[in-house]
Amino acid sequence: MGRELADIARVRMSVGRNWSDIVFVDDKPFLPIQGIPVIPPEQMRLDDQLCFAIGNPSVRRALGGRFANQPLASLYSPTASVSPYAQIGEGAVLCDYAVVNNGAKIGRHFLANTFAQISHDCVIGNYVTISPRVSCNGNVLIEDGVFIGAGAVIRNGTPERPLCIGESATVGMGAVVVRDVPAGATVMGVPAR
């Protein structure tokens, strides 16, 4: 994931983002990755902006706590589309061709991978991962720490009763979610069970 986000960051630097450089931060020493230095956390400056390049929501949450005082960067691919009437929290990542539509409200450290789509009036919590080609239809509530696997489809709810995916739930690849998912549950299949 880090290399994918580095590609987005490089493009953003070339079109006027005022970052001086890109580095990877890791507890383990590494050689540079594709020319990008890897530094330990103790070498970060107080004003360095972090963006967590990890798909696992619980790991991102742990890092959010560990680096709570570090400023955050959000990375949006130039091909991502965000409605001016959507709200997205700090530290968010939108990969190539991700779409966030009108009225969506999304929390911190959100990750939408390639071709992910968040439709109108969805409310998404913190540390949520939406994998490639997920289609999340309108009026869906996704609570904190949810992981949605590649190609999953989330049926729309209604304004009066949004379809809800509970905190820390996991939706498997290719699943079709047609009813609420309890907190902590793992569902898969068509329809998802």
Whether 34 contacts 25, CB under 8 Å: no
pLDDT (0 to 100) of residue 18: 63
Whether 120 contacts 138, CB under 8 Å: yes
Q: Mean pLDDT, to the nearest integer, of 117-137? A: 98
One-letter amino acid at 63 equals L
| pLDDT exceeds cutoff 70 at 72 | yes
10-26 burial, b at 16+ Cβ within 10 Å, e below that, comes to eebeeeeeeeeebebbe
Q: What does the block give as tokens for 99?
A: 């779409």
Whether 9 contacts 19, CB under 8 Å: yes
Q: Which of 10, 12, 105, 120 is catalytic?
A: 120
Lowest pLDDT segment from 13-17, 39-43, 82-86, 159-163: 13-17
Reported confidence tier of residue 13, pLDDT bands at 50, 70, 90? confident
Active site residue 120: yes
Whether 23 contacts 40, CB under 8 Å: no
Reported confidence tier of residue 140, pLDDT bands at 50, 70, 90? very high
Reported confidence tier of residue 21, pLDDT bands at 50, 70, 90? confident
| pLDDT exceeds cutoff 70 at 50 | yes
